[in-house]
Structure 1
């Protein structure tokens, strides 16, 4: 195999990815974007949130590999021609996501924020645990990560309802689809888990009107993209108590500015976009396999439709 793979990410470790990729494909030339001197030799790009006009530099590009499951940073770009774009589909990423959401759901299901407050006051206060089946968890988005998460929550005994834009069917999960069913789905979610991709149809989807349809005191967990939720509306609902608590791993602007109101809200738990990340040791085999397929003039696997955004 000949050709160069160009790497761009301000988050990932280039040397680690280079070592692992060349272990899988010894003949592959792996370079950082800033060091490429012969752009016409670049046939593959492994990227996470590349800057504007990044793809114009590589006239013979045949494959773009997104370093993650969400491809919103590649949607609507004028510099990206009609070539295959793939996302990572790593079982370890799905397992990591399901584990994070399960932690967040259990934290609310077992009233852990209440006990954290009691500990600060050195106050011994008992609350009887609720049965898992009495707690309604709504998973909003039933893609690969959402399905794995919904299945894990159902396995733990929670009453799980799923919502997606198109029809889905899952054992142990009551599935709803389409905008006509969204309000009913939200009204039955004691804990809402947001797992939708960021697309023109989903940005701002959870506005003040839709947040108001959640049960009073509901908890919200967002592990997808920050722009799906109207942040000022969420702040207002958290302040009023209509939404009792939120676990937020994603935000409209990242890093979250120091002055953002979320930092000071006692009913908000913040993590820095780490619910599920690409693990090089396991994801590299999928990437190498797709490079080999393109080199052999075969279509790559796990392609995304940038017109849909996923």
Structure 2
């Protein structure tokens, strides 16, 4: 039996699609009448405190999100494998966001927007893409897809991750001891890291001050499309005000929804989107997890299993 436990999404619609995809395999929702001991798989998004109560026969947790940091904090999380969502459609949407904001900052949108408002004709030429370095933090599925999309545009690319990655056309850095070297020649910093105790708050004043300052007019830019816990918003506000950063694109926040009282709303060189960089598509999500269930029921191993010791 598959149990759907989804908050803030249309659980009924997901249920209909899972029933169509899985055929006779039973699919239930929280409000249905069922024996919790019969549940073998639970499909979750923002699980409530009682989400796992009575699930004595549970084999696997299926996570709607690509990131599982919030799920791993659940106080009653069972000791069973967790499968995260890995999907080409989600990766494409994330890369669309990253490419759009990288090119916006590369072409000095903030500077020309200010000139337009001032009716000021000031011909400052952006550097060539080949003269502009995009540094991507996180070389998982999303980071590697962003590299594939950015590479044909001609940017100089570098990456930083927990463990070393060799990717053609990308200068790779790994580990805390090489973080400063990674930052030193980066003009546009993109964060696609998983949120772990080691990466929490990594977007802070110290990090911003180590980015390269002599390529982009106005200063370096940051893009965070990973988790709000990666950033220190007070530091971002200060860095945008004093010129340490020329611009910031933020899709995630320490508190969501972003409170109306946040000073970020009023900063002209801060570009805010409401956590919409990438979404989990129902059609591809149902196909992905249905196939995992079918194969696992026949004895095949699970794929994309979370390493709890790493947090992703």
TM-score range with shorter-chain normalisation? over 0.9
Name the residue aligned to 1:61: 58
1:223 to 209, 219, 225: 225
Asked if 1 retains the 8 angstrom alpha-carbon contact of 2:28 and 2:34, the reply is no
Asked if 2 retains the 8 angstrom alpha-carbon contact of 1:40 and 1:59, the reply is yes
Name the residue aligned to 1:268: 270
User: Which runs of 5 or more structure 2 residues have no equivalent in the other structure?
Assistant: 214-218
Q: Distance in 1 between matches of 2:115 and 2:28?
A: 53
Alignment of 1:42-57 (within 5 A): 42-57=39-54
1:137 counterpart SS class: strand
CA drift of 1:123 comes to 4.3
Asked if 1 retains the 8 angstrom alpha-carbon contact of 2:134 and 2:188, the reply is yes
Runs of 4+ in structure 1 off by over 3 angstroms are 34-37, 118-127
Name the residue aligned to 1:249: 251
Name the residue aligned to 2:72: 75
Q: Distance in 2 between matches of 1:102 and 1:12?
A: 27
Residue 26 of structure 2 is aligned to residue 24 of structure 1 = no
Residues 36-75 of structure 1: CA deviation (Å, up to 9, x unaligned): 4422222211111212342124222111111121010121
The number of residues matched between the two structures is: 307
Asked if 2 retains the 8 angstrom alpha-carbon contact of 1:44 and 1:63, the reply is yes
- Judged with a 3 Å threshold, the aligned counterparts in structure 2 of structure 1 residues 298 and 242 are, in CA distance, closer, same or farther, namely same
Asked if 1 retains the 8 angstrom alpha-carbon contact of 2:15 and 2:29, the reply is no
Asked if 1 retains the 8 angstrom alpha-carbon contact of 2:5 and 2:51, the reply is no
2:186 to 178, 185, 189: 189
2:210 to 209, 213, 217: 213
Residues 165-195 of structure 1: CA deviation (Å, up to 9, x unaligned): 1010101111110111101111211000001
Alignment of 1:169-184 (within 5 A): 169-184=166-181
Name the residue aligned to 2:216: none
1:136 to 111, 133, 136: 133
User: Which runs of 5 or more structure 1 residues have no equivalent in the other structure?
Assistant: none
Q: Distance in 1 between matches of 2:268 and 2:69?
A: 31
CA drift of 1:227 comes to 1.0
Asked if 2 retains the 8 angstrom alpha-carbon contact of 1:7 and 1:45, the reply is yes
TM-score (normalised: structure 1): 0.93
Name the residue aligned to 1:118: 115
Q: Distance in 1 between matches of 2:53 and 2:290?
A: 23
Asked if 2 retains the 8 angstrom alpha-carbon contact of 1:90 and 1:282, the reply is yes
Q: Distance in 2 between matches of 1:24 and 1:37?
A: 20
TM-score (normalised: structure 2): 0.93
Residue 293 of structure 2 is aligned to residue 291 of structure 1 = yes
CA drift of 1:25 comes to 0.8
CA drift of 1:125 comes to 4.1
Q: What RMSD in Å do the two structures reach over aligned CA positions?
A: 1.7
Name the residue aligned to 1:104: 101
Q: Distance in 1 between matches of 2:3 and 2:119?
A: 55
Asked if 2 retains the 8 angstrom alpha-carbon contact of 1:63 and 1:294, the reply is no
Residues 227-270 of structure 1: CA deviation (Å, up to 9, x unaligned): 11222222211111111110000111111111111111111111
